Amino acid sequence: MIRAEHIEKSFDGRKVLDDITVEFETGKTNLIIGRSGSGKTVLLKTLVGLHEPDAGSVWYDDTCFTQLGFRERKDIRKDIGMIFQGGALLDSSTVEENVRLPLDLFTRRSEAEKRERVDFCLQRVRLADAHRLYPAELSGGMIKRVAIARAIVLNPKYLFCDEPNSGLDPQTSIVIDNLIHEITEEYGITTIINTHDMNSVMEIGQKIVYIHEGRKWWEGTKEEILHVDNRELNDFVFASAMAKRARTNR
């Protein structure tokens, strides 16, 4: 379980997160949704410690993450996998080296064991033959899949995904969504996904948190989201549904 309590964060005097308290459930695909600029990415980065909150705390199970130093956080960070919006693969490393890096840094496994684990993770994301390719040689969907392989290589307990579908076509988006959801269910991971894609919400969302102008406006399930009496959320859902219908009609 991951819990954020009364999180506040400002940049250059502008409040980006305002008193956000939310709990993300273990073994579920939790979605943070909201418009661009609503504070989703800042919230996600605050949860993983890339931003320090101005106020409030973040808890991983019974450990207060925000009170830990860099070295103490390391133990929790080994249990965290993260997929960034652009993939964030190391440009100077091959796919294999990217996926293997956490194993090299944090395990004492033999070469054969590392190779086996890398092969397994790349097969899991259906990229069994991409070992020797560099990120510049991959498509957007492949980059996201390599990022997923790297994120799961150490068997994380928590998986964070920042707009995993951004820049992808609808079909590839569904593939990525399903892959993340399958991995979440398979390994009982606590997954938190940032998205503004209503398709993702309806396909894989188990718990949904709606952020608007830096505040938590609503939380619930995908069944409940369609019947909520909340104008901002309705506008967001309706606009997304319109976009989807327009795409379908075309």
Partner 1 sequence: MLKIFELIGRYFILMGKVFSRPEKAAIYRRRIVYEMEALGIDSIGLTAIISVFIGAVITLQMCINLDSPFIPQSLIGYATRETMILEFSSTVVALILSGKVGSSIASEIGTMRITEQIDALEIMGVNSASYLILPKIVAAVFFFPLLTILSIGIGILGGWAIAYLTGIMIPDDYVSGLLLDFKPYSIVYSLIKTAVFAYIITSVSAFYGYYAKGNSLEVGAASTRAVVVSSVVIMIFNLILTQILLI
CB closer to partner 1, 48 vs 233: 48
User: Could you tell me the smallest distance in angstroms from the CB atom of residue 49 to partner 1?
Assistant: 8
CB closer to partner 1, 88 vs 174: 88
Residues 72 and 17: their CA atoms lie apart, in Å, by 25
CB closer to partner 1, 151 vs 179: 151
Binding site for partner 1 (CB under 8 A): 45, 48-50, 70, 73-74, 77-78, 80, 82, 84-86, 88-91, 101-102, 104-106, 160
User: Could you tell me the smallest distance in angstroms from the CB atom of residue 223 to partner 1?
Assistant: 32
Per the rule left: phi > 0, alpha: psi between -120 and 50, beta: everything else, 163 is left
User: Could you tell me the smallest distance in angstroms from the CB atom of residue 170 to partner 1?
Assistant: 24
User: Could you tell me the smallest distance in angstroms from the CB atom of residue 149 to partner 1?
Assistant: 13
CB closer to partner 1, 33 vs 47: 47
User: Could you tell me the smallest distance in angstroms from the CB atom of residue 119 to partner 1?
Assistant: 20
- Please report, for residues 53, 75, 89, 165, the alpha-carbon distance to residue 172 in angstroms, rounded to integers and kept in the order given: 34, 34, 19, 8
CB closer to partner 1, 76 vs 174: 76
* Residue 129 identity (one-letter amino acid): D
